[in-house]
Every structure is written in C-alpha cells, then in structure tokens.
Amino acid sequence: MNSSHLKIAFFFAGLILISYMVLIVIGDNGVRDLNALKQEVIELKAKNNVLQEKNIRMHRKIKRLKEDPKFIENIARQELKMIGKDEIVFKFKEDSTARINQNNGAVKKTSENLYPKR
C-alpha cells in the first residue's frame, strides 16, 4: 500500500469516527436524550417527595379523626359551621349605608353607620 492509499484509508476511518461521535451526541438515545432523562428523573423525584409529605399529613389527619374527639369537633366547627348542643349563634347584619364624602371620594363613617337606628 502506498502513502496515498493510506491517507485515503485514514480519511475514511476518521470520517466514520466523526459520524459515530455525532450520532452519539445528537442521535436517538444519545447524550442529549440522556441529559433530558436525568432532568426528568430529578423533577419526578421532587414531585414524589411532595406527594409523600402530603400522604404523611393525610395519614396523620386520618389517625386524629379516628382517635381525637376534640379534633373532630374542631373540624365540624370550622368546615361544617356546626355549633355545640348548648350554644347560641348571634348573626349581625352589616350596615352597608356608608356615605361617600363628595370632596375626596373617601368613605365617611358616621354614627348612623356604626349603630343601627331604633
């Protein structure tokens, strides 16, 4: 083999090597896809941690609902607006007759706004 044939052989070998390197970097299942998959794994692990914490909180709440009558009462009062057996509820009507001061547009509270008329 003379030197020109050797140069051509090295040229094609180099070309094939460069082609494989390009395929490794940007081809399917290449380095780019590997980095994308690593990022997806990181995001999924973060979501999993959030869900695990939420799951733990829910298990604690379920346990308290099963075992703690005061907790049940508190939930009934806050979420269901329930009251105790001997309790009385007072509802106050809001007075929406606040007057607007014509000079600067501010709301002017008067004694008739604060106390109901008799």
* pTM reported for the whole predicted model: 0.49
| Per-residue model confidence as pLDDT tens digits over 26-67 | 777 778 888 899 999 999 999 999 999 999 999 999 999 999
The answer for residues whose C-beta is within 8 angstroms of residue 65's C-beta and 6 or more apart is 71, 72, 75
Q: DSSP states of 50-99 as a string?
A: HHHHHHHHHHHHHHHHHH-HHHHHHHHHHHS----TT-----------PE
Residue scoring higher pLDDT (35 or 98): 35
**Which pLDDT score is estimated for 86?**
87
Which of 8-12, 21-25, 64-68, 106-110 bottoms out in mean pLDDT, i.e. has the lowest? 106-110
Residue scoring higher pLDDT (108 or 62): 62
**Which pLDDT score is estimated for 38?**
94
Share of the chain above pLDDT 70, in %: 79
**19: part of which helix (H) or strand (E)?**
helix 3-26
The answer for residues whose C-beta is within 8 angstroms of residue 115's C-beta and 6 or more apart is none
Whether pLDDT at 98 is above 80: no
Residue scoring higher pLDDT (118 or 67): 67
Rg (CA), the chain: 37
Domains of the chain, residue spans: 3-94
**Which pLDDT score is estimated for 76?**
87
